[in-house]
Amino acid sequence: MGTRNFLWDFGKKCFTFGLIGLTISDRYASIAHVQGLSMYPTFNPNARTFMGSLTDDYVLLEKFCLEKYKFSHGDVIAFRSPNNHREKQIKRIIALPGDWITAPHSYDALRIPEGHCWVEGDNSASSLDSRSFGPVPLGLACGRATHIVWPPQRIGERRRYNLTLTAPGKGEKGSAIEPRWWVRMGRLFVVTLDGGRVYSCKHCKTHFAYANQIISKAFHSKHGKAYLFDKVVNVTVGEKEDRLMMTGMHTVVDIFCVGCGSIVGWKYEAAHEKSQQYKEGKFILERFKVLGPDGSTYVNQDIQAGGSDVEDA
């Protein structure tokens, strides 16, 4: 009888402690095992030694941040992989909703959508992150890494990066061109075009294109002249739509300055007529909305009435 009571009491205590532990792990904090080299040297600095996984870091994940997704630039978070929800990853937050970031291997700029973040590993050569699968929904976050709890010689608060944010218009005085967006961890998110004649935004002077990238000046918009460029940088795009122009139906997207958000022209995604397909992938900058290479503005003396943003000659 005494043995039965002991086992019953022991079972109840184990069950109670199990529930408490599960509640704490689910709502307040948990321990996570960091594997691999994607966060080297912040985590697993000894992973390259003969000890291997025996010296892997274990980190404390606090979960109060999940209540209202209160994250900051530079936070290291654990999250479920967008490609496989059974797999968890740990990376550093580089950009948060509303931020702009340059797309990998491209001059195109990407705006982080609401409810998402951009994450990267500290060891970019060994990291599968947002550069591969894009912005991560904040709803996949499992917690924020605050402390290393194992191995013993590394116990303590993790090292934190101070990410420098430069707001538009706050560049260093005396520079050739003031930065118009931000620099994070040494990553420049606006391309500066040096060594040539450059067209730029008339509002914030963000660089768009070299003058020698002009394919044709024989285009028009409702504001007057418009130039066709082979390549344009520091712009983001709107939604695709079909527009009927003077030369036929085209699928286009509006383009916006990443520095101030103003619309500066459009990009040709597709031409429905074979004779116009040379425009596909090319950009239009409305001369009225940009500064010339000499800093000049353009005023159309005969602005066309009516029409849309796109009426090309």
- Per residue in 156-207, pLDDT tens? 765 554 443 333 333 333 333 233 334 343 343 577 888 789 999 988 888 9
| pTM, two decimal places | 0.50
Rounded mean pLDDT, 22-42: 77
pLDDT in the model for residue 245: 87
Question: If you average pLDDT over residues 118-143, what whole number do you get?
Answer: 87
pLDDT of residue 17: 63
pLDDT tens, position by position, 265-285: 999 999 999 899 999 999 999
Report domain 2-157's class: mainly beta
Catalytic residue positions?
38, 91
Mean of pLDDT over the chain? 76
pLDDT at 270: 93
Domain with CATH 2.170.150.20 in the chain: 183-291
- Every domain of the chain with CATH number 2.10.109.10 lies at 2-157
Which CATH number does the domain 183-291 belong to among 1.10.3720.10, 2.40.110.10, 3.40.190.10, 2.170.150.20?
2.170.150.20
Query: 121-127 contacts: CB < 8 A, separation 24 or more?
Result: 121/38, 121/39, 121/91, 121/92, 122/38, 122/39, 122/40, 122/41, 122/42, 122/92, 123/37, 123/38, 123/39, 123/40, 123/41, 126/36, 126/37, 126/38, 126/40, 127/38, 127/39, 127/91
pLDDT in tens, 93-125: 988 888 877 655 555 667 888 889 999 988 888
